[in-house]
Amino acid sequence: MSNHARVSRRDLLKKTLLLGGAACAGAFAAPSAHAQKVSKEAMKYQDKPNGDQKCSTCMQFEPPGSCKVVEGAISPNGYCIAWVKKA
């Protein structure tokens, strides 16, 4: 007879789901301070607003003229496809 402990399917499934959940949680964690920004071209940045949508009213905007998503200097009156209304 073997001295190895038997692992039930239920225990194996629990451990698999726990590890999978932990791996997925990492994808939704807050971005690090070193998160890479995207080019203006990729985000379709423009120096003019899109109606009432402009950088200064976006939650990604970092005064006086930068963004959490778009690299380089931006205008508070600019716009890109990452625009999200400030809460």
Alpha-carbon dihedral 39, 42, 44, 46, rounded to 10 degrees: 20
* Rounded mean pLDDT, 9-32: 66
Per-residue confidence (pLDDT) for residue 26, from 0 to 100: 57
Residue 16 scores a pLDDT above 90: no
Confidence of residue 8 (pLDDT cuts 50, 70, 90): confident
Q: What is the pLDDT of residues 31-87, one digit of tens each?
A: 555 679 999 999 999 999 999 999 999 999 999 999 999 999 999 999 999 999 998
Q: How far apart (Å, rounded) are the C-alpha atoms in residues 6 and 78?
A: 62
The reply to whether the predicted model has a pTM over 0.75 is no
Q: How far, in Å, CA of 83 to CA of 61, rounded?
A: 9
